[in-house]
Amino acid sequence: MYKKNRRKFIYVVVFTLIMAIISLPLIQYLPEDTQGRFEKIAINLGLDLQGGLHLEYLLDLENTPDDKKEDAKDAVQAAAERKVNAYGVGEPVVWLSERGSDTFMTVEIPGVKDVEEAKNVIQKAPILQFREEKTEEELATDKAQMDEMLAPMNEQSKEEAIGVLERVKNGDDFSDLAKEFSKDPGSAENGGELDFVKKGDFVPEFEEILFNDEINDGDIHQELVETDFGWHIIKKLETRGEGDDKEVKGQHILFAKMSVPAEPYKATDLTGALLDNALADYSSNMGGVSEPQVNLVFNSEGAKMFADITKRNLGKTVAIYVDDEIVSAPTVQSEIVDGHAVISGSFDIEEAKDLARRLNEGALPVPFELVSQQSVEATLGAEALEKGMKAGLIGLVLVMIYMIIYYRFFGVIASIALGIYAVTLVSIFKLSGLTPMAITLTLAGIAGLVLSIGMAVDANVLIFERIKEELRMGKGIKRAVDEGFRRAWPSIRDGNLSTIITSLILYSMGTGFVKGFALILIIGVLASMFTAIVIVKIIMKYVTGEWLEKRQWLIMPKARSKSKSE
């Protein structure tokens, strides 16, 4: 039994060390290759703690058919999330809420500097477009126009290459020049050196110089070599092998040639305004296996346009863009004249639903109006965080002091468990940031956290009082500990369960700040039950024994003996 208790105690020690490493700022003491991983693990702070922008919009669903309202709401939320994520701010939060017959969308964007720009980005309506492939002539025309536009920059790059080539011919160090001028990210830091290669590994223009037998090892080619990548100054370093096994090691300085690939698609008149709906479902293959697909339904005008597009693009792809970002490019298998199209492919149902949501962003436009705006300065958020954490720390220390004074040795164990509880909570907050279910700590959440600290010792109080009762009845310390935990459990279970149920109701019916308070309180209660019951029991079963049996004054005052006359 002692070995079993010791093994469990070791598990507690290891668990505590892991939680402490995650929760405490110990990065400077870790190896450099480990520091980067731990720096990514941080608590996700809410808007009120790190500053930012809180916006509330009222959705106008009056002209949206009842059977499409839910899809329209999802499309608006998805569009807002995508836009604020693309805006480049940290951890934005977007959610919908119902108040009576009205639907509101709340957007919280931490760390915003330009408020007006952020609002403009959100309120910009998504644009859905159908585009068809360009002809070879159109692509050639586009390329010629791009080449003409980039010609001055490329001419400047070539002139720079000519100047560096002259410096190489005059004896300047090749490696130093490569480090300074080469635009090849794979070799510039190494002075332009390339590994041994066989013929066929590089573009023909480059290999024509590198594998030229008339150029000796150590020689520098005296002319610039132009490829699609730009202009190269090439030095042949070493040759080994013969015939098909011949390998050459070279060194080069690359001056990049600017080029922009031509846009392969051109716009049509078919837009999201003519698409009634997009819906993800499964194909109805008779006798076969159903596969996820996306159904498109156009209105009468859109059906005519789509019929024309599919007729002239048989066997080609028709690209679907949302806000100039391609979301799908299905191949036209046949002419579609009834306005009902299907996008199928090798995707699962979640990918199909995501594609349908993206299409509905432009197909189901919903007007929304800004009705509330609040800005929180970063300095105010930092001050609130500092005060909140200080309150939590003071509360934790005061509870520890009280437990030690009143419960003596048991109070020390409870205080250790409180410390484990604290680092466990912080670790849960940090690790959640690595998952899709990240926990955001708000000022209201800190209030729930401080409240849970006091509740964290409730279970210990009940347990310790039960143990003291068992000791007064003359039971041994080991048996008293077992009985104390067993008899206290129903009260602990019912008390914490009622708190969790109340918090769940708050979370399901409350708004953002109330949800934060309820969620942190639930997590705090669960963590406190784990530390107060599991951790404390393991520690007590390991450290209690005959030595404590003889020193019960470490647990409670000695009982006063009654006089005989009584």
Highest mean pLDDT among 18-32, 170-184, 358-372: 170-184
pLDDT exceeds cutoff 90 at 244 = no
Same domain, 100 and 147: no
The more confidently predicted of residues 7 and 375 is 7
Same domain, 75 and 125: yes
> Which residues, at least 6 apart from 386, have a Cβ–Cβ distance to it below 8 Å?
none
Output DSSP code: residue 429: H
Q: Judge contact between 528 and 420, C-beta under 8 A.
A: no
Distance CA 46, CA 279 (A): 34
pTM over 0.85, yes/no: no
pLDDT exceeds cutoff 80 at 237 = yes
Distance CA 128, CA 364 (A): 10
Question: Does any domain span residue 50?
Answer: no
Q: pLDDT above 90 covers what percent of the chain?
A: 23
Q: Judge contact between 375 and 115, C-beta under 8 A.
A: yes
The more confidently predicted of residues 118 and 364 is 118
Q: Which domain holds residue 177?
A: 138-256
The more confidently predicted of residues 497 and 86 is 497
pLDDT exceeds cutoff 60 at 28 = no
pLDDT exceeds cutoff 50 at 51 = yes
Distance CA 434, CA 170 (A): 55
Could you tell me the CATH number of the domain that includes residue 504? 1.20.1640.10
> For position 316, what pLDDT does the model report?
92
> For position 381, what pLDDT does the model report?
58
Distance CA 302, CA 275 (A): 7
Least confident of 24-28, 330-334, 340-344, 487-491: 24-28
Distance CA 420, CA 13 (A): 10
Least confident of 261-270, 340-349, 436-445: 436-445
Q: Please count the other Cβ atoms lying within 10 Å of the Cβ belonging to residue 196.
A: 15
Across the chain, mean pLDDT equals 82
Distance CA 291, CA 283 (A): 5
Q: What is the mean pLDDT of residues 250-261?
A: 90
Same domain, 119 and 224: no
> For position 358, what pLDDT does the model report?
79
Q: What is the mean pLDDT of residues 405-424?
A: 86
Total domains in the chain come to: 3
Distance CA 250, CA 247 (A): 10
Angle ∠(402,407,413) on CA atoms, nearest 5: 90
Least confident of 149-153, 271-275, 319-323, 442-446: 442-446
Q: What is the mean pLDDT of residues 259-281?
A: 86
* Closest of 389, 294, 374, 390 to residue 341, by C-alpha: 294
> For position 47, what pLDDT does the model report?
64
> For position 1, what pLDDT does the model report?
65
Q: Judge contact between 4 and 534, C-beta under 8 A.
A: no
Same domain, 281 and 382: no
Residue 529: CA count within 13 A, CB half-sphere? 17
pLDDT exceeds cutoff 60 at 43 = yes
> For position 91, what pLDDT does the model report?
58
Same domain, 239 and 193: yes
Q: What is the mean pLDDT of residues 349-372?
A: 80
Q: Put residue 111 in one of left, alpha, beta given phi > 0 → left and psi -120 to 50 → alpha.
A: left
The more confidently predicted of residues 123 and 329 is 329
> For position 313, what pLDDT does the model report?
92
Boundary (domain end) residue, out of 232, 256, 280: 256
Residue 246 structure tokens: 């011949």
Q: What is the mean pLDDT of residues 259-288?
A: 80
Could you tell me the CATH number of the domain that includes residue 330? 3.30.1360.200
**Could you tell me the pLDDT band of residue 32, with boundaries at 50, 70 and 90?**
low
Q: What is the mean pLDDT of residues 36-51?
A: 65
Output DSSP code: residue 15: H
Residue 357 structure tokens: 């949501």
Q: Judge contact between 67 and 372, C-beta under 8 A.
A: no
> For position 205, what pLDDT does the model report?
93
Same domain, 385 and 503: yes
Question: Does any domain span residue 559?
Answer: no
Question: Does any domain span residue 565?
Answer: no
